[in-house]
Homo-oligomer: A and B are copies of this chain.
């Protein structure tokens, strides 16, 4: 295997992108360009021990409590899509980022940027959807802000949700904690959200409608942590898909990760759409899935617990953590060969969340 990878690496590593003087869509992809923007612009300026961990949420010690704190702006297009809308998505996205830190989500803020002329009725629908999603997830929206920009200067509605949660006792989750021998668990089929958005946007029609998987995952996480706290890391593979989540973990933990293509569940409809459109499901966004790195001795029990939960019915071990080639993610393909699973180089699908 190592020899093959050496060869492949020369052909699949994208060339250095050089200094970019303008923002491109790929800077919002959650892939390589997003990582560059973070590394070259934001991290040097804002560096501090909490931010530098590069987890999806900051964990803060305040008054003896460990709080998780996370922010997300949502610019998804279209605002309404099969399986959800920007309102429910904004709640699920932030609830999930808190949950991935092992926190019980408690409070949300909501910051709206509205375009002049935006229909009040749509705002009402979106706010209603947010309120329902928040109530279902047991979080309260406790503070908010609304700004309006002139017609033509926005794109309907953008919303930022920022969340606070209380990290559970015993949970110490971080992308830097994967260890050789650990197992990689995926909670279910990938690619539904991205393909649902794309299908709506492009007016694609499939035999049965593909629904976004947008869902709150904090109770699934609670069930998992109830089994064992030997969970090293949780990530929700949103923008940039499963590949980005695994690459970030591999880099942060200085390990390699091997996954097995035949074990990764993908709905047939999504598989078909990806083939048709030339997309790789590994890079397509999910909004109701998680990937977990867990100690090998508890993997079976955790998968079993996940399968008892609504949002983990198809949970499965898809691979393991290896020692060599730190920061490298590889996949054994259905044909038996091995390929590198790199960070997304450009932007496969903009405006996905």
Q: Given the complex of chains A and B, what is the CA–CA distance between A150 and B131 in angstroms?
A: 29
CB <8 Å contact, B158 and A155: no
CB <8 Å contact, A148 and B27: yes
Question: Using an 8 Å CB-CB cutoff, how does the interface string of A158-185 with B read, 1 for contact, 0 for none?
Answer: 1010101010000000000000000000
A335 within 8 A of B: no
Look across to chain B and name the residue whose beta carbon is closest to the beta carbon of A143. B58
Q: Given the complex of chains A and B, what is the CA–CA distance between A41 and B70 in angstroms?
A: 25
Question: Using an 8 Å CB-CB cutoff, how does the interface string of A29-71 with B read, 1 for contact, 0 for none?
Answer: 1000010011001100110101100000110101111010111
Q: Given the complex of chains A and B, what is the CA–CA distance between A220 and B158 in angstroms?
A: 34
Question: In the complex, which residues of chain B have a beta carbon less than 8 angstroms from the beta carbon of A121?
Answer: 21
Number of copies: 2
State the Cβ distance, A122 to closest chain B Cβ, in Å. Answer: 9
CB <8 Å contact, B71 and A62: no
Q: Given the complex of chains A and B, what is the CA–CA distance between A149 and B164 in angstroms?
A: 27
State the Cβ distance, A78 to closest chain B Cβ, in Å. Answer: 13
Instruction: Report which of B37, B58, B112, B147 forms a contact with A146, defined as CB distance below 8 A.
Output: B37
State the Cβ distance, A200 to closest chain B Cβ, in Å. Answer: 17
CB <8 Å contact, A60 and B147: no
A23 within 8 A of B: yes
Question: In the complex, which residues of chain B have a beta carbon less than 8 angstroms from the beta carbon of A142?
Answer: 48, 50-51, 58, 60, 69
Look across to chain B and name the residue whose beta carbon is closest to the beta carbon of A93. B145
A251 within 8 A of B: no
CB <8 Å contact, B23 and A123: yes
What interface size band does chain A fall in?
35 or more
Look across to chain B and name the residue whose beta carbon is closest to the beta carbon of A21. B120
Given contacts A21-B120, A41-B123, A141-B51, whether A34 and B71 have CB atoms under 8 Å apart is: no
Question: In the complex, which residues of chain B have a beta carbon less than 8 angstroms from the beta carbon of A62?
Answer: 62-63, 65, 67, 106, 164, 166
In residues 81-112 of chain A, which contact B (Cβ within 8 Å)?
Answer: 106-107, 109-112
CB <8 Å contact, B124 and A41: yes
Q: Given the complex of chains A and B, what is the CA–CA distance between A114 and B124 in angstroms?
A: 26
CB <8 Å contact, A160 and B111: yes
Q: Given the complex of chains A and B, what is the CA–CA distance between A25 and B113 in angstroms?
A: 11
A206 within 8 A of B: no
CB <8 Å contact, A45 and B140: no
In residues 289-340 of chain A, which contact B (Cβ within 8 Å)?
Answer: none
State the Cβ distance, A11 to closest chain B Cβ, in Å. Answer: 28
A116 within 8 A of B: yes
Q: Given the complex of chains A and B, what is the CA–CA distance between A133 and B270 in angstroms?
A: 46
Q: Which 3 A-B pairs give the minimum distances between C-beta atoms?
A: A28-B148, A63-B65, A71-B109
